[in-house]
Amino acid sequence: MEHIRTPKVEQVRLLQRRAGQRKPLLGTLYLSATHTIFVENHPETRRETWVLHSMVSGLERPPGGPTGSQLVLRCKDFRVFHLLFPLERDCVEVHASLTRLSRPESYSELYCLSINPNTNQEEREKSWSLVLPSQDYQRMGLPTTCGSPRQPTMCDSYPAQLFVSRWASPAVLMGSSRFRSRGRFLFSAAVCRCSQPLSGFSGRSEEDEQMVTAVMKANPGSDFIYVVDTRPRLNAMANRAAGKGYESEDHYGNIKLHFSGIDNIHVMRSSQQRILDVGEQRTPSMSDFLLGLENSGWLKHIKAVLDAGVFIAKAIADEGVSVVVHCSDGWDRTAQACSVASVLLEPYYRTMKGLMVLIEKDWVSFGHKFSHRYGHLDGDPREVSPVLDQFLEVLWQLAQQFPCAFQFNERFLLDLRTLAYSCQDGTFLGNSEKERRSLRLQERSFSVWSRLWRDREKYWNPLYRAEQSQTQGLHLYITYRSSCIDLTVVTRASAIHIDPHVLISLGL
């Protein structure tokens, strides 16, 4: 409460245009440590509007007028509230209070860590045990025993345990880690993820080349491996000047390079903002809206993410070839492409529980920078970008084309997105598994998955048919630029056979 200058202001008018509201509501504004609350004065309705401080993305103070001073509150879920204060002093103090409250400087100020719900330890532990990546590895038939501990200096942003090819020795793992940006070496077999190599124009690493060969050898049905660089080719080439870049086919003799052309986080942030700007227009015509949508490039970016996932899925299902996927650091575009491919390949990930497991495994565990990308703390705004938003939109687009293939509905995706921003639970806090362990989140907060699972009845898709979810030979038609994709979706039983892997402990 120390940052709240004025906890209560009466005779405030609230207008929310995007909700179809035409006349402002008169009421009282309250500021608490966690929420901004507006209570309508009307005695019959007394409607309340609650906004978490962590959901505030921006505050503006347009020039005042004869009726009072205005404050515009923009939210991360795209709601926009216009508040009109009778006194400028109240507007100034509320603006100053919300500026500080919406920009926490430490994790302890966030909602899930600043409250102390009256629940016992057993409930908290049960919350975190609902979704575990290790359970998914067991479901896929991978080994459950750990090998020898590895050096903790390999990669801070990877989980403590993961799978690598049994042909990769500790020396190869360490050498490959040193040759990959942020130490994010290749892991897994059928679909492997990592970061860009630190090759520059002429650099190479014998261990990294052996690592790629080990991944290929784990799949006895193929004599080459795809390397999918999710970046535009020109961007990848430009990174060579900084001593990074992409794999040389001269050095990695058993690879085929493929560039997916997904733009970086800065382009995506700008694209989303252009869509919001179109929505801010008072009375846009249909032609204005469509032109703004086209100029934003948003659908082009969504298609690029989907195309990357389709390429990976077809490589595995149709060609039986393993795929190495990376972008620059391996935690944004890589997560998108691998997750889309997983959804296309495995019906389990098209269920509610399966999607929770997939996000926990491919995003949370493998170091997607949730706190940076979704602005949980007061930091560099250039690090904010709608990476998870785009993956969820790809799922929505697929569900529109195949309404019987997904167990969950649109509300599930919307609530999942909101929870990634709101900091109501500990799952999406921090930027890596190591950071979450240091924050002791499992001791101090709840998992977001228990919240969603508790409300699963409202997320159920009545059109879902499990047998149709396993359809093979689906034809996916994407309206943007009339692109027609022949997509094969395979079940676990028809997937390619992968030789056993070794579960290692990185000792992080």
Question: d(Cα 489, Cα 265) in Å, to the nearest integer?
Answer: 29
Map tokens 């034809």 to a residue: 475
Q: How many helices (H) and strands (E) does the chain have?
A: 19, 16
Look at strands 69-75 and 80-85 and give their pairing: antiparallel
Identify the pLDDT of residue 415: 97
Identify the pLDDT of residue 159: 62
Identify the pLDDT of residue 173: 60
Residue 326 burial (CB < 10 Å; 0-12/13-18/19+)? buried
The first and second tokens of residue 151, run together, are 């050096």
- Which domain-ending residue is among 103, 134, 153? 103
Identify the pLDDT of residue 476: 37
Question: d(Cα 141, Cα 103) in Å, to the nearest integer?
Answer: 44
**Helix crossing, 352-359 with 410-422: angle to 10°?**
30
Strands of 161-165's sheet in order across: 146-149, 501-505, 161-165
Q: End-to-end CA distance of the chain, in Å?
A: 37
Residue 1 located in a structural domain:
no
> Is 249 found in the same domain as 356?
yes
> Is 190 found in the same domain as 99?
no
Nearest CA to 350 out of 394, 415, 317, 307 is that of 394
> Is 427 found in the same domain as 294?
yes
Residue 479 located in a structural domain:
yes
- Which domain-ending residue is among 103, 133, 164? 103
Task: Tell me the CATH number at 70.
Answer: 2.30.29.30
> Is 43 found in the same domain as 156?
no
Q: What are the backbone dihedrals phi and psi of residue 256, each rounded to the nearest 5 degrees, phi first?
A: -125, 120
Identify the pLDDT of residue 96: 97
Question: d(Cα 60, Cα 179) in Å, to the nearest integer?
Answer: 46
> Is 21 found in the same domain as 157?
no
The first and second tokens of residue 102, run together, are 């919406």
Per the structure, the count of domains in the chain is 2
Residue 291 located in a structural domain:
yes
Inter-CA distances, 485 with 306, 338, 478, 492, Å: 10, 18, 8, 22
Question: d(Cα 153, Cα 163) in Å, to the nearest integer?
Answer: 17
> Is 376 found in the same domain as 232?
yes
Q: DSSP assignment of 243-259, as one string? A: T-----TTTSTTEEEEE
DSSP designation for 462: T
Question: d(Cα 321, Cα 279) in Å, to the nearest integer?
Answer: 44
pTM of the model: 0.84
- Geometric angle at alpha carbon 165, from 163 and 167, rounded to 5°: 145
> Is 462 found in the same domain as 392?
yes
Question: d(Cα 448, Cα 455) in Å, to the nearest integer?
Answer: 11
> Is 88 found in the same domain as 138?
no
Question: d(Cα 159, Cα 134) in Å, to the nearest integer?
Answer: 11
> Is 270 found in the same domain as 321?
yes
Identify the pLDDT of residue 241: 77
Residue 117 located in a structural domain:
no
> Is 261 found in the same domain as 192?
yes
Residue 110 located in a structural domain:
no
- Which domain-ending residue is among 48, 72, 103? 103
Residue 369 located in a structural domain:
yes
Residue 391 located in a structural domain:
yes
Per residue of the chain (508 residues), give pLDDT as tens: 678 999 999 999 999 866 566 789 999 999 999 999 999 998 888 899 999 999 999 999 998 788 899 999 999 999 999 999 999 999 999 999 999 999 999 999 999 998 866 667 888 889 999 988 888 878 877 654 444 344 555 556 566 665 555 555 666 666 656 655 555 445 444 677 777 777 655 577 888 788 788 888 777 778 899 999 999 999 888 887 777 777 778 788 788 999 999 999 999 999 999 999 988 887 778 898 899 999 999 999 999 999 999 999 999 888 888 899 988 888 899 999 999 999 999 999 999 999 999 999 999 998 899 999 999 999 999 999 999 999 999 999 999 999 999 999 999 999 999 999 999 999 999 999 999 999 999 999 999 999 999 999 999 999 999 876 654 443 433 333 223 233 333 333 333 333 333 333 333 3
> Is 420 found in the same domain as 329?
yes
DSSP helix/strand/coil, 474: strand
Question: d(Cα 302, Cα 468) in Å, to the nearest integer?
Answer: 25
Contacts of 151 by beta carbon, 8 Å cutoff, 6+ apart: 174, 506, 507
DSSP designation for 415: H
> Is 323 found in the same domain as 212?
yes
User: Which positions are catalytic?
Assistant: 327
In 352-409, where does DSSP find H-type helix? 352-359, 370-373, 387-401
Identify the pLDDT of residue 385: 97
The first and second tokens of residue 508, run together, are 């992080």
Range of the domain at 131: 124-505
CB 168 within 8 A of CB 210: yes
Residue 73 located in a structural domain:
yes
Task: Tell me the CATH number at 432.
Answer: 3.90.190.10
Provide the strand spans (E) within 214-370: 225-229, 255-259, 323-326
DSSP designation for 493: G
CB 69 within 8 A of CB 56: no
